[in-house]
Each structure stands twice: as structure tokens, then as C-alpha cells.
């Protein structure tokens, strides 16, 4: 079934004439009749009464039933075309980020990008490291801001910034004035577990192997909640170093040195220059992290 057949069918009903319908579509009447015949063969029904000795167009019961369906098909097609025109006028980037990257940092780059490309729409979701990789592979997102392994040689990823991980405590914490601490010093102190941490997921026995266990009193898979719990004085956490956090002090850990590479991954999409524009923008952007 082709759309031109649907249009022929509905126009015949509208103008009540095969001849006028053919003229309206700038085709010969035999061509229009052939299109209707082909439609009837595909549907295995007769849509119009024929041979009744009248030139008036009369629909069969099957034609009456199909009329409503044909109108719905054409309306859906026209709606889809309108949606696609709007998409072309306002292209959309599907962006995924790690749970462990602050929402405020993503909001800042999105805002800066919007100032330069105001017609581009961006949808944002977040997830764990493996999820981001799967979403890119499955085509569910176009770009991911994520953790990159040091030995990554992919042609569709690029370093954005290095970020240290350190012990974050509230400003009135006993460790806040210390120049540094040892892992053993953390024993017994309330600890906030970061369920999203890619290091803990990659190396789940990192601390068990050295006989160390945290006094975990709170946990969250959302970076903003971890920060808020620290700022509320409810505990401490080993987390990425972010600038300008209120009521938060970072204390180096002598026997633990962690850092991560945050980068951008993307899908190579034909006719999607806007993805490349966002990638280039992100690479040149001042992320303002230590």
C-alpha cells in the first residue's frame, strides 16, 4: 500500500468523481483507476461500486470502513512529517552522563552550549559506567560524558579533564584541619558510601584486600545527595574533588592516591553535525575542576 493510493481514494470520495480526482492529482483517469485497483487487490476487497449505470461514486461497506482508516493513516503520516520538520528545525542531542558527575557541572556546559546554539534541544539522562556504554552501542544516546580508562585508544572518545579523588569532610569535622590522613584513621568515623563510584565497581575488594572496612552509615547512588549529606555534617566520603563546594573540605589520604579521567564518547552519525559541534564544544570548554 502506497500513500498515493490513499490520497487517490480519499480525493475520489471528497470530489465524488474519478475524473475530477485524476485532474486534481495531475494524472490520467486510467492511472488513477489503476492505483485504486491495486489498492483493492492489496486489501482483497472492493472499495467502490461499479457498473451501476450511474457516475455517482458509491462506497461499498468495505469502502466505508476503510475510509476512516485511510483518513487516520494520512493524518498520522502528516503528523509524522510535521514532527520531522520540527526536529530538523530544532535538532536534538541525547546526552548521557555518569551518576558521579555533578548535575551543576553538566548544567553549566549545557547552558553555555545553548547560548551558542539556541535552536538545539538537549535531553539528558544519567547512569552507571556500563549503562552509558550500552546506551551508546544501542543508539539510545548520541554522546556520553563518562570515565575513560587510561589505555583507551578509541577514535570516538576524547579526554576532557583529570580529576583527583580525596576525602571530603564537613568543615567542622575532626579531620578538616589535618594536612593529611591515613586510611586507618578513618576507622569508626561515619562514612557515606557512593554507590555510583566507578572505582568501587571496578575494584570492589580494593579496601577489603588490605583489611580495611568503612563504617558505612549512609549510601546513595546520586552524587548530589552524597555532597548534601557531607555538607549536613552526617559523614565523610572519598569522592572527586569539585571546586566551590560549601561546607566541604578535602583532605589528602597518604596511603591512597586515586584520580580519574573524565572524557566524552560519541556515536559517529551521518548527517548529525550537531553531535560533532557539541563534542568540539565540550573539548574546548573550561570545566573548572581541580
Tell me: the pLDDT tens digits for 60-82? Answer: 999 999 999 999 999 998 888 88
Average pLDDT over residues 134-157: 89
Q: What SS3 state is found at 42?
A: helix
SS3 label, residue 128? coil
Q: What is the pLDDT at residue 206? A: 65
Scanning the structure block, which residue is given the C-alpha cell 461499498?
60
Phi–psi pair at 233, nearest 5 degrees: 80, 20
| CATH class, range 3-88 | mainly alpha
Lowest mean pLDDT among 99-113, 219-233, 260-274: 260-274
- CA separation for the pair 189, 166 (Å, rounded): 16
Domain boundaries of the chain, sorted by first residue: 3-88, 92-161+261-284, 162-259
Is 162-259 the same fold as 92-161+261-284?
yes
* Domain 162-259 architecture: 3-Layer(aba) Sandwich (3.40)
Reading the block at residue 62, the C-alpha cell is 468495505
C-alpha R_g of the chain:
31
- Residue 194: pLDDT above 60? yes
Q: Cα dihedral sign for 241, 242, 248, 249?
A: positive
**How crowded is the C-beta side of 81, counted as CA atoms within 13 Å?**
6
- Does the pLDDT value for residue 204 go beyond 70? no
- Cα separation, 52 vs 64, whole angstroms: 18
Cα 95 to Cα 278: distance, rounded to the nearest angstrom: 10
More confident residue, 9 or 81: 9
Dihedral-angle region of residue 237 (phi above 0 means left; psi in -120 to 50 means alpha; beta otherwise): beta
**Greater model confidence, 208 or 147:** 147
Q: How many CB atoms lie within 10 A of CB 69?
A: 11
Asked if the 92-161+261-284 domain carries CATH number 3.30.420.40, the reply is no
Amino acid at each position: 500500500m502506497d500513500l498515493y493510493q490513499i490520497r487517490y481514494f480519499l480525493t475520489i470520495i471528497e470530489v465524488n468523481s474519478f475524473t475530477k480526482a485524476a485532474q486534481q492529482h495531475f494524472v490520467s483517469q486510467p492511472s488513477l483507476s489503476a492505483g485504486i485497483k491495486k489498492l483493492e487487490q492489496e486489501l482483497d476487497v472492493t472499495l467502490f461500486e461499479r457498473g451501476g449505470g450511474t457516475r455517482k461514486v458509491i462506497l461499498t461497506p468495505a469502502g466505508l470502513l476503510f475510509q476512516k482508516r485511510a483518513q487516520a493513516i494520512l493524518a498520522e503520516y502528516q503528523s509524522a512529517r510535521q514532527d520531522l520538520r520540527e526536529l530538523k528545525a530544532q535538532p536534538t542531542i541525547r546526552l548521557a552522563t555518569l551518576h558521579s558527575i555533578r548535575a551543576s557541572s553538566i548544567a553549566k556546559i549545557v547552558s553555555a552550549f545553548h547560548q551558542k546554539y539556541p535552536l538545539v534541544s538537549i535531553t539528558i539522562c544519567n547512569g552507571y559506567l556500563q549503562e552509558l556504554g550500552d546506551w551508546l552501542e544501542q543508539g539510545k544516546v548520541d554522546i556520553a560524558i563518562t570515565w575513560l580508562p587510561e589505555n583507551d585508544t578509541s577514535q570516538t572518545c576524547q579526554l576532557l579533564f583529570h580529576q583527583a579523588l580525596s576525602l571530603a569532610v564537613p568543615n567542622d569535622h575532626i579531620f578538616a584541619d589535618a594536612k593529611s590522613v591515613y586510611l586507618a584513621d578513618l576507622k569508626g568515623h561515619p562514612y557515606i558510601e557512593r554507590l555510583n563510584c566507578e572505582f568501587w565497581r571496578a575494584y570492589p575488594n580494593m579496601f577489603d584486600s588490605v583489611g580495611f572496612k568503612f563504617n558505612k552509615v549512609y549510601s546513595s547512588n546520586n552524587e548530589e545527595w552524597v555532597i548534601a549529606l557531607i555538607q549536613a555534617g552526617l559523614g565523610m566520603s572519598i569522592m572527586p574533588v569539585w571546586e566551590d563546594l560549601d561546607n566541604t573540605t578535602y583532605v589528602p589520604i597518604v596511603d591512597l592516591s586515586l584520580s580519574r579521567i573524565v572524557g566524552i564518547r560519541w556515536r559517529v552519525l551521518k548527517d548529525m553535525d550537531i553531535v560533532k559541534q557539541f563534542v568540539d564544544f565540550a573539548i574546548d570548554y573550561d570545566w573548572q575542576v581541580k
